[in-house]
Amino acid sequence: MSGSSRILNEALRAKVTSAEHAAGLIASGGTVGMSGFTGSGYPKAVPLALAARMERERAAGNPFRLKVWTGASTGPELDGALARADGIELRLPYNSDPVAREKINAGKMDYLDMHLSQVAPMAWQGFLGPLDTALVEVTGIRADGSLIPSSSVGNNKTWLDRADKVILEVNRWQNPALEGMHDIYYGTALPPNRVPIPLVRPDDRIGEPCFRCDPDRIVAIVETDTPDRNAPFTPPDETALAIAGHLLEFFRHEVASGRLPASLLPLQSGVGNVANAVLTGLIDGPFENLTAYTEVIQDGMLDLLASGRLRMASATAFSLSPDAAERVNADMARFRDRMILRPQEISNHPELIRRLGCLAMNGLIEADIYGNVNSTHVMGSRIQNGIGGSGDFARNAYVSIFMTPSTAKGGKISAIVPFASHVDHIAQDVQILVTEQGLADLRGLSPKHRARLIIERCAHPDYRGALADYFERAQRGSYGLQTPMLPAEALSWHQRFIETGSMLM
């Protein structure tokens, strides 16, 4: 192991140890800041060893639990294994692991759903409590002791700066050509000493390619070679293609009206089927010299880069299918200079999103007739994943777009409801709403005009009549008529689904 070419600093090479030994350095009850964002760049060996230890301790009657902070979602070796071992006391700021989700919604795991841009600042502000350990995957360690970041940056800079002790996983599976792709900004500070962030274009580099790390705080280094999670990619279905079609038509119209430049503005795009369809659709569209300033680089964005339409992409992480990951790894030299990975407080910073004028495209669980959006809670109480960066982007975007199929669960759930059972994005932050049925341009419209348009353009025909009926009756029976509602009926669709398994009457 000591001959590994990935650890070029000799003093640090002496700290190479086993995952089991490293896991033994973490005390129960503490807080661990882990790497990982959308299934990439998360530690893979130490969490498994930790989970095994948790199972043993639990069997011996000594519950072993940790507070786990990350960038965003990770992989089954981390969230899945630790949740299965009942080893997570508190999880923040985002989760998409099914085992952890189940524990959270059963009330067995505390979960703090945060704006992704705010995690690092709040850690520095001392609002989240002390950080005992940083557990961070890196691609390699340079001779000077600086750390080559992995396939996600997330909050790693902050974890490495703030933790009492540092455990590193050096993952040989990660492509060594990642070196030089990252831009780690070291200019953040606490007020009153904050200064403007000097980024004015998505391709500006304002930092350093590697993490600084005090070698004295590094207590263990574990070598691994496990791939990132990399969920396989489902090609867009008809619904996704229809949504993408409406949105591309909207972009064409905005350019023709002079409200958007011909090369659009920096794209932000969530992950998933619909987002991929939009990005893929841009390959055949009329737009050239596109840029992206976003959270993740997913398959569609890679295709767009490969096509030449997308000039460059700035993000904090990859989120690729195994196929796409292979393509990137095989062709890293070609892709590398057109991609930048940054800390998530920079990729998602309100200052930068507003300055750049991002076109924000995010998914949702449900929107009400006024365009208040629920991104997180099924039936208002059961969390799906988390708000992620959608709030960072939606409020500060040049145009804030939300898109969704108009129904879910085979038509039994309407994505358009009389009243949102949970609100993540208030109507002011939702300008364009798109389903496969159509697109509602809500800019400049007061609530009742928004409702008419959303019902007409976005609702599924199976639900359109009931929504229009509710809205009409609300206009007659509401306490006030700015945003008409009937409190006794507003959440009845959710209640019906809970009772009958369908929102349909």
Binders of its own copies among residues 393 to 412 (CB under 8 A) are 395-396, 398
AA identity, residue 199:
L
Nearer to its own copies, 299 or 429 (CB): 429
Residue 83 binds its own copies (CB under 8 A): no
Query: What burial class does residue 17 get, using C-beta atoms within 10 Å of its C-beta: 0-12 exposed, 13-18 middle, 19+ buried?
Result: middle
Where does this chain touch its own copies (CB under 8 A) — which range of 163-171, 219-227, 272-280, 470-478? 470-478
Residue 301 CB, nearest approach to its own copies (Å): 19
What 24-28 contacts at long range (C-beta under 8 Å, 24+ apart), as own/partner pairs, is 24/53, 25/133, 25/165, 25/167, 25/219, 25/220, 26/50, 26/66, 26/132, 26/133, 26/135, 26/167, 27/132, 28/57, 28/62, 28/63, 28/64, 28/65, 28/66
Q: Which of residues 448-467 bind its own copies (CB under 8 A)?
A: 448-449
For its own copies, the binding residue among 112, 241, 306, 408 (CB under 8 A) is 112
Nearer to its own copies, 275 or 474 (CB): 474
Residue 475 binds its own copies (CB under 8 A): yes
Nearest 5°: phi and psi at 58?
A: -60, -45
For its own copies, the binding residue among 70, 312, 494, 503 (CB under 8 A) is 494
**How far is CA 60 from its chain centroid?**
37
Q: Which of residues 343-382 bind its own copies (CB under 8 A)?
A: 350-351, 354-357, 372, 377-382
Residue 77 CB, nearest approach to its own copies (Å): 24
Residue 505 binds its own copies (CB under 8 A): no
For its own copies, the binding residue among 115, 182, 309, 464 (CB under 8 A) is 115
The Cα-based distances of 389 to 255, 300, 348, 363 in angstroms read 26, 19, 7, 11
Is the distance from CB of 401 to CB of 244 less than 8 angstroms?
Answer: no
Nearer to its own copies, 306 or 486 (CB): 486
Q: Work out whether strand 438-441 and strand 382-383 pair parallel, antiparallel, or are unpaired.
A: unpaired
Residue 488 binds its own copies (CB under 8 A): yes
Using CA atoms, how far apart are residues 72 and 120, in angstroms rounded to an integer? 12
Please tell me which residue in 77, 295, 345, 366 is annotated as part of the active site: 295
Q: Which of residues 198-227 bind its own copies (CB under 8 A)?
A: 198, 200-201
For its own copies, the binding residue among 136, 153, 324, 387 (CB under 8 A) is 387
Nearer to its own copies, 161 or 368 (CB): 368
Is the distance from CB of 203 to CB of 337 less than 8 angstroms?
Answer: no
Nearer to its own copies, 218 or 369 (CB): 369
Q: Which of residues 129-148 bind its own copies (CB under 8 A)?
A: 129
Using CA atoms, how far apart are residues 336 and 321, in angstroms rounded to an integer? 18
Provide the total of helices (H) and of strands (E) in the chain, helices listed first: 18, 25
Nearer to its own copies, 188 or 224 (CB): 188
Is the distance from CB of 401 to CB of 368 less than 8 angstroms?
Answer: no
Query: Active site includes 295?
Result: yes
Q: Which of residues 5-64 bind its own copies (CB under 8 A)?
A: none
Q: Which of residues 260-279 bind its own copies (CB under 8 A)?
A: 261, 265
Could you give the dihedral angle defined by the CA atoms of residues 466, 471, 473 and 477, in that order, rounded to the nearest 10 degrees?
150
For its own copies, the binding residue among 4, 105, 321, 329 (CB under 8 A) is 105
**Catalytic annotation, residues:** 295
